[in-house]
A = this chain, B = another copy of it.
Amino acid sequence: MELWTEPQMASIRKMLNPRSIAIVGATPRMQYGGRFLAAALKAKDRVRVYAVNPRYDEIMGVKSYPSVTSLPEGPDVVAVVVPWDQVLDVLEESHRKGAGSAIVISAGFAERGVDDRRDLQRELGAFASTSGMRISGPNCLGLANVKDDIWATASSRGAEGLTGPIGLVCQSGATAFGPFLVRAVENGIGFSYIISTGNEADLDFTDFAHYLLDDPDTRVIAGFVEGFKEAGKFLEVAKIAAERGKPIVLIKIGRSELGARAARSHTAALTGADARYDAIFAQYGVIRVQDYDELLETAHLLAHTPKPQVPGIAVVSHSGGISSLTADMCGQAGLDLPLLGDEARDGINGILKGFGWAANPADVTGFANSESFPRIMEHMISDPRMGTLVVASAGADAQAQQVISQRDRTDKGVVFLWTGSRDAKAGLTQLKHARIPIFYTPDKLARGLQSRLAYHTWRERRLADGFATTPPRTAPQDAAITRALGLGRPTLSESESKQLLAAWRVASAREYRANSAEAAVAAAERLGFPVALKVDSPDIPHKTEAGVVRLNLRDAAQVRTAYAEILASAKAYLSALPLDGGAPERLPDSVGVPRVGGGDRAGNPTPSPLMGEGRGGGEFAAANALAQARISGVSVQEMVGDGVEVIVGVNCDPQLGPVLLFGSGGVMVEVYNDVALRRCPITRAEAQAMIAEVKGARLLQGFRGRPAADLEALADTLVRVSHLAMHLEGHLAELDINPLMVLPRGHGVKAVDALVVFRST
């Protein structure tokens, strides 16, 4: 599937670089239509601007046309500022006229939360893709080509900005042209483009971001999103961004339920589970921040400092208290302030002559405001342990000039922590003008530096490793999928689930099917005691709760008793099912908050090379009274004793696609929610990173005298399960392998229980 087409990108190019703009609904009053016209007229020497409003002959000094049709040309951009029920008509008329693109300011669509308006919005989207005249909005505030000073926006915050290498794309127009624009201007931060996408009936965040990846004037993409219409497109954008070295910095709403609730009321795109976004952003190198200032400061930092050669941060201040707090926050963010080398220390001591501290952080007292300061900075930045210099101070123009010169002389990053007032003029104005990245509090500085370091580290590794790809399906995998889907049920039984897994070479504990107590005893003897007995049924996904599992059976007598007991339990359980014979309601969650049902994974294994598929006969006939309940047998399974329990799962998020979960097993995963998440597919390196991320996985390394577990096999399994999820995309809803036992090194892994759930379509 082609995610972006050339004509689509061409339409965006026209929208962002128009030679003509028509404003339908222009008025002399400074409301949406009037503000849009006024903003566009700023560029009237370069852009042909047309007002369209039959009620006026002239507005703000330009002729007003009665309709789009009556315009002298088909404009590059039509701004639509008319009541919601006239929008589609205007779009159709504009298309007939040959317009290149449209910006729909009008509101009253999906954000109203009612069906007919949602439908109408869908019509706008359909019209855009059919006609090829692409649309931004509705319910947006337009956009700005800041570098060429062309403002196609209805914002009330004016049409003034600084040019710079940050491309800003926001769903919320009031946020784009409100806090972001005004604070960027205040802080000397410049944009290439500012784009608001509103409800995204047609073009969305990822479409504009994709355009900006090709834009030579954009080095960093910054955004504010409430939800992604299609996460797959976003991931593709993130991949290309990584290849080109253009960082993406985002605020993504949805940290809390409250945010999700509020976002739903505003933008049509649904907000997904936040932890999955966090995981995917980390996996794809997207920097997530959480406030206006942090977004601007981090994007500006990334745009105006080189990649650090070494991670070390050097901090110099006029104050011990300020340098202490700065060091403290850097340490908390995981940054390294290396000890100063002898040469640098001696050099600085030669200047300080007993005052202050020649260290890292350095407290150079009043020397920070002296002629000696350049030599101090030079000593610090020349130290090979230091990759970035932070000046934490608030001096006058002289100090600012020294810092700017230092930055111009070095290929290392130079950053300022401004400790004075934000409305200071002396010093600060010069630093802003010179595009020195400035932070105002030590914690924001530290987080910014950490994001920058993490981004470059991530990218280097990613360029080396590549992104994961999914291998083509093998014939056995095709067959397994056909067979599993052919069962025509949303839930597979344990043995069906394990058979599916086997096609991706995920081994399970050995097991035999039995349909009589004596057959169970025979199977147990073949496996060797102790064994486990379980009823195998797609209608009993939570076997422990249903009482149809018996573990650690040590002899034939115990097997016989257990066989009788679990059949009785199965009967009792199934007779309580709804009359249609369907499965009882599933417990929720399997990936977000991992499902840890009962005791079945307290170190207790299950079997796999299935045998004895025959039904009926022996005591098993008793269960046939429950024929509608699809008991496919009783399985006799080996007990897998010497492994470490873990959980592996997949949840197919409707927005984000299949997300793989790995967690420590047993009670810990539930108590500590100690899990790692990744979007499928994953690379082997990502599998290893997942294992490293889970604290409880320390047990796998031979913790407290246990033998080291087979981490290689575990990593392979995670990769293969991620492939399975991709191969089954569109069908799979959930997959749980819980527990997966990781055996001692060289012995692989064994699935003890497994559950596959397909989408009910």
Q: Contact partner of A262 among B107, B261, B323, B672, CB < 8 A?
A: B323
Task: Report yes or no: B321 in contact with A172, Cβ–Cβ below 8 A.
Answer: yes
Shortest beta-carbon distance from A193 to chain B in Å? 18
In the complex, whether A695 has a CB less than 8 A from a CB of chain B is yes
In the complex, whether A577 has a CB less than 8 A from a CB of chain B is no
Q: Decide: A175 near B698, CB < 8 A? Known: A186-B423, A423-B186, A703-B667.
A: no
In the complex, whether A363 has a CB less than 8 A from a CB of chain B is yes
Task: Report yes or no: A324 in contact with B672, Cβ–Cβ below 8 A.
Answer: no
Q: Decide: A258 near B331, CB < 8 A? Known: A174-B319, A178-B322, A182-B420.
A: yes
Q: Contact partner of A258 among B179, B293, B294, B327, CB < 8 A?
A: B327
Q: Which of A214-260 contact B (CB under 8 A)?
A: 224, 226, 251, 253-260
Query: Which B-chain residue is minimally distant from A254 (CB atoms)?
Result: B328
What chain B residues lie within 8 Å of A323 (beta carbons)? 262, 266
What chain B residues lie within 8 Å of A178 (beta carbons)? 319, 322, 394, 419-420
Q: Which of A663-709 contact B (CB under 8 A)?
A: 667-668, 671-672, 674, 695-696, 698-699, 703-705
Binds B, one of A341-349, A439-447, A748-756: A439-447
What chain B residues lie within 8 Å of A251 (beta carbons)? 325
What chain B residues lie within 8 Å of A253 (beta carbons)? 324-325, 328
Shortest beta-carbon distance from A381 to chain B in Å? 19
Q: Contact partner of A361 among B107, B157, B262, B699, CB < 8 A?
A: B262
Q: Contact partner of A322 among B172, B599, B671, CB < 8 A?
A: B172
In the complex, whether A320 has a CB less than 8 A from a CB of chain B is yes
Assembly CA distance A577 to B254 (angstroms): 59
Q: Contact partner of A696 among B256, B331, B422, B671, CB < 8 A?
A: B671
What chain B residues lie within 8 Å of A674 (beta carbons)? 672
Q: Which of A320-365 contact B (CB under 8 A)?
A: 320-332, 337, 355, 357, 359, 361, 363
Task: Report yes or no: B175 in contact with A328, Cβ–Cβ below 8 A.
Answer: no
In the complex, whether A534 has a CB less than 8 A from a CB of chain B is no
Q: Which of A172, A258, A322, A326 has the most B CB atoms < 10 Å from its CB?
A: A258
Query: Which B-chain residue is minimally distant from A264 (CB atoms)?
Result: B324
Assembly CA distance A321 to B324 (angstroms): 37
What chain B residues lie within 8 Å of A200 (beta carbons)? none
Assembly CA distance A361 to B696 (angstroms): 39
Task: Report yes or no: B291 in contact with A442, Cβ–Cβ below 8 A.
Answer: yes
In the complex, whether A111 has a CB less than 8 A from a CB of chain B is yes
What chain B residues lie within 8 Å of A318 (beta carbons)? 174
What chain B residues lie within 8 Å of A695 (beta carbons)? 671-672
Chain A residues within 8 Å of chain B by Cβ, number: 84
Assembly CA distance A259 to B704 (angstroms): 33
Shortest beta-carbon distance from A612 to chain B in Å? 32
In the complex, whether A516 has a CB less than 8 A from a CB of chain B is no
Assembly CA distance A337 to B182 (angstroms): 28
Task: Report yes or no: B419 in contact with A422, Cβ–Cβ below 8 A.
Answer: no
In the complex, whether A53 has a CB less than 8 A from a CB of chain B is no
Q: Contact mask A622-656 → B, CB, 8 Å, 1/0?
A: 00000000000000000000000000000000000
Assembly CA distance A170 to B320 (angstroms): 12
Assembly CA distance A440 to B180 (angstroms): 12
Assembly CA distance A516 to B422 (angstroms): 79
In the complex, whether A64 has a CB less than 8 A from a CB of chain B is no
Assembly CA distance A182 to B260 (angstroms): 38
Assembly CA distance A178 to B325 (angstroms): 14
Shortest beta-carbon distance from A385 to chain B in Å? 14
Query: Which B-chain residue is minimally distant from A602 (CB atoms)?
Result: B704
Assembly CA distance A60 to B118 (angstroms): 75
Query: Which B-chain residue is minimally distant from A695 (CB atoms)?
Result: B671
Assembly CA distance A329 to B257 (angstroms): 10
In the complex, whether A367 has a CB less than 8 A from a CB of chain B is no
Query: Which B-chain residue is minimally distant from A176 (CB atoms)?
Result: B321
Task: Report yes or no: B328 in contact with A262, Cβ–Cβ below 8 A.
Answer: yes
Shortest beta-carbon distance from A517 to chain B in Å? 27
In the complex, whether A421 has a CB less than 8 A from a CB of chain B is yes
In the complex, whether A290 has a CB less than 8 A from a CB of chain B is yes
Shortest beta-carbon distance from A639 to chain B in Å? 20
What chain B residues lie within 8 Å of A326 (beta carbons)? 262
Task: Report yes or no: B443 in contact with A290, Cβ–Cβ below 8 A.
Answer: yes
Shortest beta-carbon distance from A129 to chain B in Å? 25
What chain B residues lie within 8 Å of A696 (beta carbons)? 671-672
Task: Report yes or no: B699 in contact with A329, Cβ–Cβ below 8 A.
Answer: no
What chain B residues lie within 8 Å of A423 (beta carbons)? 186, 422-423
Shortest beta-carbon distance from A346 to chain B in Å? 17
In the complex, whether A19 has a CB less than 8 A from a CB of chain B is no
What chain B residues lie within 8 Å of A254 (beta carbons)? 328
Task: Report yes or no: A170 in contact with B321, Cβ–Cβ below 8 A.
Answer: yes
Task: Report yes or no: A705 in contact with B671, Cβ–Cβ below 8 A.
Answer: no
Assembly CA distance A260 to B331 (angstroms): 10
In the complex, whether A147 has a CB less than 8 A from a CB of chain B is no
What chain B residues lie within 8 Å of A599 (beta carbons)? 704-705
Assembly CA distance A442 to B256 (angstroms): 13
Q: Decide: A329 near B667, CB < 8 A? Known: A253-B324, A321-B172.
A: no
Query: Which B-chain residue is minimally distant from A255 (CB atoms)?
Result: B332
In the complex, whether A88 has a CB less than 8 A from a CB of chain B is no
Q: Decide: A111 near B320, CB < 8 A? Known: A290-B443, A444-B291, A672-B672.
A: yes
What chain B residues lie within 8 Å of A444 (beta carbons)? 291
Q: Contact partner of A267 among B183, B320, B440, CB < 8 A?
A: B320
In the complex, whether A171 has a CB less than 8 A from a CB of chain B is yes
Shortest beta-carbon distance from A266 to chain B in Å? 3
In the complex, whether A43 has a CB less than 8 A from a CB of chain B is no
Task: Report yes or no: B266 in contact with A441, Cβ–Cβ below 8 A.
Answer: no
User: When A and B form their complex, which 8 residue pairs have the shortest distance between CB atoms, in order from nearest?
Assistant: A172-B321, A259-B328, A256-B331, A258-B331, A174-B319, A266-B320, A291-B441, A182-B421
Give 18 new A-B contacts, CB below 8 A, not counting A172-B319, A293-B441: A111-B320, A174-B321, A178-B419, A183-B421, A186-B422, A224-B321, A255-B328, A255-B329, A258-B330, A259-B325, A262-B328, A266-B323, A266-B363, A599-B704, A599-B705, A671-B699, A671-B703, A672-B672
Q: What are 8 A-to-B residue pairs whose CB atoms are below 8 Å?
A: A171-B321, A174-B321, A186-B422, A255-B331, A259-B327, A262-B324, A291-B443, A671-B695
